[in-house]
Structure 1
Amino acid sequence: MTNKTINEIEIIYEDQNLIVVNKPEGLASIHDSNGKVSDLQTLLQDKLKIKIYVLHRLDKDVSGIILYAKNPKTHKFLNQQFENRIVKKTYLALVHGLIKEKSGLIDKPIKEFGSGRMGVAEKGKESKTFYKVIESYQNYSLVELSPTTGRKHQLRVHLYSIGHPIVGDKLYGEKEIQKNYPRLMLHAKSITFNLTDTKKLYLEANLPKSFSSFINSFKL
């Protein structure tokens, strides 16, 4: 990734303690230990000339809002909010099929089954995702997701488990069908957290063209 590209990454919010950006799909959110793959954390550190601290992560193929702390004190303050589930996040996903129930809760425990693949399992960790259907197109549904837990691949596994895998998800869905789509249609839309002890902050990340143009093609 070139310097021009990192300069083009949208900064949603920045102050002396943290930076919030709109991560493009196809870019890892944290540093790879072998250092062979570009990642957003390293690119931002190179741009800002400081060490930044990871608070949460997005899968490489997921776009959207992500925040990093600029110092240990802020990292601790915000990390406690993540651990105590004070931070609220919403996502947009385009899924296969028309979901009959327009809103609901997917309450299914998740565990890892090896090779990085997760799945629903009775003895897995508690995992809950609220969903709301925003629009329906042909044989697709645009869904807003609000997880209350943060398991690896949670949204992807939960939607797959109810028969509506996310469009373009080659790991959870029929690979021969999923490979025909331009990207994984999952975007981290918004985040709400306490900026200080007395001030709450709500931030949103715009949909990238790779997502919005695909949806708009249904409206033509």
Structure 2
Amino acid sequence: MLPAPRPAQPLGEQRVVFADDTLVVVSKPAGLLSVPGRGPDKADCAWSRVQASYPDALVVHRLDMGTSGLLVFGRGAAAQRALSMAFEQRLTDKRYEAIVGGAVPDMAGEINLPLIADWPRRPRQMVDMVIGKPSLTRWERLALETGLPGTTRLALFPVTGRSHQLRVHLQAIGHPIVGDELYAPPDIETLAPRLLLHASHLTLPHPATGQAMAFHALTPF
């Protein structure tokens, strides 16, 4: 029997973490698109909310709709290019927090599994050892006591930035993220009303000065 659909959850407020003449960093709530989707019902997104106050803000990277946390926009094309290059050249450091199914026995490790789009089941991604793109995630165990039975809290450090990378990598090692409608089995998916994945820390070079900037968004679960 399929589990009953989860009730819709109200979206939290999007908070501006930092803003200056070239950079805007926000904390996106879970359930909000990063950029507009298809159709007028999907027009509300992190980008449109930022542009209401900063009309020159342009997209640098994205978070999945279910993921909350730090999201960066460049103000103007030059800032967008500089920030995009910083992400592409791995000049940024990203940390996520997640609650995953099962008791993770080790204190730390890494997941080095190539990923590719699962085209017949889009938007899903999958591990493909032959033609997948190199993908690397490092992780640390934070706690075995999370408030949810049979789960573990992890810190995640993606070295590469593939679509759904953290979600697929954790599923692949047998510890899918709680609340994941695409990759978790029903008993893990339904433990929470949202995907328990949050972009909590980000460091990057300022697009104008090159100065190292560090941002933090408190994990809401």
- TM class by shorter chain equals 0.7 to 0.9
Aligned amino acid, residue 97 of structure 1: G
Structure 2 CA distance for aligned equivalents of residues 21 and 54 of structure 1: 12
**Is the partner of 1:89 in helix, strand or coil?**
strand
User: What is the percent sequence identity of the aligned residues?
Assistant: 34
Pairing 1:162–2:169 present: no
**How many residue pairs get matched?**
203
Pairing 1:41–2:47 present: yes
* Aligned equivalent of 1:120, options 127, 138, 141: 127
Q: Report deviation, 1:36.
A: 2.6
* Aligned equivalent of 2:190, options 174, 179, 182: 179
Aligned to 2:212: 200
Aligned to 2:115: 110
**Is the partner of 1:116 in helix, strand or coil?**
coil
Do the aligned partners of residues 93 and 177 (structure 1) sit closer, same or farther apart at CA in structure 2, a change above 3 Å counting?
closer
Q: Report deviation, 1:197.
A: 4.5
Structure 2 CA distance for aligned equivalents of residues 198 and 170 of structure 1: 39
Pairing 1:130–2:138 present: yes
* Structure 1, unpaired ranges of 5+: 212-220
User: Larger helix proportion, structure 1 or 2?
Assistant: 1
Q: Report deviation, 1:178.
A: 1.2
Structure 2 CA distance for aligned equivalents of residues 97 and 177 of structure 1: 9
**Is the partner of 1:79 in helix, strand or coil?**
helix
Do the aligned partners of residues 180 and 139 (structure 1) sit closer, same or farther apart at CA in structure 2, a change above 3 Å counting?
closer
Q: Report deviation, 1:180.
A: 4.3
Pairing 1:88–2:93 present: yes
Q: Report deviation, 1:46.
A: 1.9
**Is the partner of 1:160 in helix, strand or coil?**
helix
Structure 2 CA distance for aligned equivalents of residues 144 and 111 of structure 1: 24
The RMSD of aligned alpha carbons is 1.6
Contact 1:52 1:69 in 2 (8 A): yes
* Structure 2, unpaired ranges of 5+: 1-10
Ranges of 4+ aligned residues in structure 1 off by more than 3 Å: none
**Is the partner of 1:45 in helix, strand or coil?**
helix
Q: Report deviation, 1:47.
A: 3.1
Q: Report deviation, 1:191.
A: 0.7
1:21-60 equivalence runs, <5 A: 21-37=26-42, 38-48=44-54, 50-60=55-65
Cα shift readout 1:123-142 (whole Å, capped 9, x = no counterpart):
20000000000111241110
Aligned amino acid, residue 147 of structure 1: P
Do the aligned partners of residues 177 and 133 (structure 1) sit closer, same or farther apart at CA in structure 2, a change above 3 Å counting?
closer
Cα shift readout 1:15-63 (whole Å, capped 9, x = no counterpart):
0111101100000011224343111101221233x13211100000100
Aligned amino acid, residue 81 of structure 2: K
Contact 1:92 1:143 in 2 (8 A): yes
Deviates more, 1:38-47 or 1:87-96: 38-47
Do the aligned partners of residues 198 and 75 (structure 1) sit closer, same or farther apart at CA in structure 2, a change above 3 Å counting?
closer
TM-score by length of 1: 0.87
Contact 1:22 1:206 in 2 (8 A): no
Do the aligned partners of residues 35 and 14 (structure 1) sit closer, same or farther apart at CA in structure 2, a change above 3 Å counting?
same
Structure 2 CA distance for aligned equivalents of residues 158 and 143 of structure 1: 13
Structure 2 CA distance for aligned equivalents of residues 36 and 167 of structure 1: 27
